[in-house]
Homo-oligomer: A and B are copies of this chain.
């Protein structure tokens, strides 16, 4: 009978994971739509405007050099704004720093962005010997930290966040702690329809890791994740 109960649990978990597949696909379409819309309303519009300005300048250049120069300056400002916006969209999609520099510098960068945007003080502390992890572990851990910071920004009303990232020979762990308003961990207003949290849990389980979330009203929130580094991963690191 115990065997059947375990089987039922396993089936239950799998059914949830199937509906997870559906949610991931819908979320992916939603993300595509959002990014397409962002690029269309932002950079693409701005570029169309710059093309118009360039035409104006070409016509003005012989008639009124002074005004042509002004328009040209305006054009340069607009294209600069457009480039910054494009860079932001690119960074949100996939921080290239992650591939180029690794986890810690990239986490520090999103911490700085949150600090700038919301005035929340964020500290990032690496423990142990920080090293380049396998790409799917690194991106998974990064997305979990990113999602935690998103949640803090949206819901927590926190003024301080502490991010610890610990590297050990056979596991890597992260802890994201804020001093915000917290929530009742057993209430489902956090667990409920939050795709973000569901996505975090699923990512962690795909990496054979563990995720623990501690929170109490008025006492902030603590997200802890721990991911094992497989023997294969360790060997690859020693060979590299």
Residue A113, interface by CB 8 Å: no
Q: Assign chain A's interface to a size class.
A: 35 or more
Rounded to whole Å, the gap between the CB of A1 and the closest CB of chain B is 15
Q: How far is the CA of A21 from the CA of B37 in the complex (A)?
A: 26
Q: In the complex, what distance in Å separates the CA atom of A94 from the CA atom of B31?
A: 9
Determine if A117 is an interface residue (Cβ-Cβ < 8 Å).
no
List the number of copies, as a whole number.
2
Q: Report A32-69 CB contacts with B as 1/0, cut-off 8 Å.
A: 11011101100110011011001101100110010011
Given contacts A51-B79, A54-B76, A57-B57, 16 further A-B contacts (CB under 8 A): A14-B14, A14-B15, A21-B206, A28-B28, A28-B31, A36-B94, A37-B96, A39-B86, A39-B89, A44-B83, A47-B86, A54-B75, A55-B76, A58-B72, A61-B68, A79-B79
Cross-chain pairs A/B with CB under 8 angstroms, 27 sampled = A11-B14, A14-B15, A17-B17, A18-B18, A21-B21, A21-B24, A24-B25, A25-B202, A25-B206, A32-B94, A35-B35, A36-B90, A36-B91, A36-B93, A36-B96, A37-B96, A39-B39, A39-B89, A39-B93, A47-B79, A47-B82, A47-B83, A50-B79, A51-B80, A57-B57, A58-B69, A72-B72
